[in-house]
Amino acid sequence: MFKKTNTVSIPRNVGSVTQIDSKAETSPYDVSMTRDNIEAIWNSVESFYRTGLQPGMTMVVRRQGEIVLKRSIGHARGNPPPNHPDQDVEQVLMTPDTPICLFSASKAITAMLVHKLCEQGKLELNDTIGKYIPEFACNGKENITIAQVLSHRAGVPQIPISNPHPSLLFKWDSVIDLINSGYTNRGDGSQQAYHAIVGGYILGELVKRITGKSVESALQEFIAKPLGAKYLTYGLQKKHQELAAFNYSTGATPVFPINVLAKRALNIEFEKIATISNSSGFMDASIPAGNIYGTADEVSRFYQMMLDGGVYNGNQMFEASTVKLATRPAGPLTIDQTLMIPIRFSTGFMLGENVFSLFGIKARKAFGHLGLINIVTWADPSRDISVAFLNTGKSLDPRSLPALGKVLVSVSTNCSVLK
């Protein structure tokens, strides 16, 4: 199922490419943790880095609202795998404040824009999409609701075109036209099939139609500015693009059937995604399901706000009832027909499980989102933690999943359940 191996260069002393924001990190003893707990979590990140599958990684962990870990390891740019065109790019260390593309972890943040409009009385989640986007209501899509799109049950998991050129994603109106004219394969909400790209555009267009503003303006108004975020933007402003971490395709190249499953989910070949994401066209675009940029601290801040009932820095960004609605299960644990794994969704978030999930072990109350294979962002109310684990190696290599799992388990075991 895999062939070839390409990994990045790892220094013998990983401390030489590690940065710790010691001023930001509070004493773990103040939040029912120990120094050993923190180092155990970080050791799991270092182990992942040593696989050579991750050019750079950043992590922020908040516990009881306090930052207990804010660190980075590796390079933001200039340490690609062999034979990559970026061999001559100057090496730039990753820092805890480097902006990184969240890929699909963007979905959770985009979903909260829609929930904000619901909170304001401008829509109901059970409204049909066609009520606000009349052109959408055709070819079996007439009864698809906002809630179904948010929970990946709309029956439109892919852009309805064979082998689309990646640059199509940069052309908002063209994508919307294709989605509006397309068919649904199951529009009754009965089947869960992860919508990697399409759902984000539908929700983004919904925000545009209702507010009269761009989805970027809504993001800034409702989330980024209230959080005091420098980034948290769809794409990046020109002045910030040179600061962005580059993504690289690493590890063994997937072949059948893994490559087929990946393309079915993402609409394009998996190996092309990293290169596309480093382009100015990608950074100039707004892709609601997949190109919010932010730092690990900013993303952890977002989830801390969700943990605190919609409050950040004394400001009620969302009503507590809105947060509860957004994180309430939309259906039972089921095999997702796109991802082909068991997973539960709310109307916007992936949900944890009792035994093992994206958010570690015994994390049934956790909610968050995965971003292109190894990025994981979440909050766990039972542990009172908000976590952002961001990274730049895009890999389906069989070594990657166990290394990621070790990080997730380490967080959940070293942050004990509090309530």
Q: What is the model's pLDDT at position 253?
A: 76
Angle in degrees, 0-180, between the axes of helices 198-211 and 106-119, rounded to the nearest 10: 30
Distance CA(378)–CA(367), nearest Å, equals 6
* pLDDT at position 66 over 80: yes
Q: What is the model's pLDDT at position 2?
A: 41
Overall size of the chain counted in residues: 419
- The tens digit of pLDDT for each residue in 122-134 reads 999 999 999 999 9
Q: What is the model's pLDDT at position 3?
A: 45
Distance CA(419)–CA(417), nearest Å, equals 6
Q: What is the model's pLDDT at position 39?
A: 98
Q: Which domains are delineated in the chain?
A: 2-108+224-414 (3.40.710.10)
Global confidence as pTM: 0.95
* pLDDT at position 213 over 50: yes
- In whole numbers, what is the pLDDT of the chain averaged over residues? 93
Q: What is the model's pLDDT at position 166?
A: 82
Q: What is the model's pLDDT at position 136?
A: 96
Most confident of 143-157, 327-341, 375-389: 375-389
157: confidence class by pLDDT, cuts 50, 70, 90: confident
- The tens digit of pLDDT for each residue in 301-323 reads 999 999 999 999 999 999 999 99
Share of the chain above pLDDT 90, in %: 83
Other CB atoms within a 10 A radius of the CB of residue 111 amount to 24
Calculate the dihedral angle through the C-alpha atoms of 349, 290, 401, 348, rounding to the nearest 10 degrees: 10
Distance CA(138)–CA(136), nearest Å, equals 6
* pLDDT at position 255 over 70: no
Tokens standing for residue 28: 């773990």
- The tens digit of pLDDT for each residue in 83-115 reads 888 888 899 999 999 999 999 999 999 999 999
Distance CA(417)–CA(412), nearest Å, equals 8
* pLDDT at position 163 over 80: no
Region 237-260 average pLDDT:
83
Q: What is the model's pLDDT at position 1?
A: 41
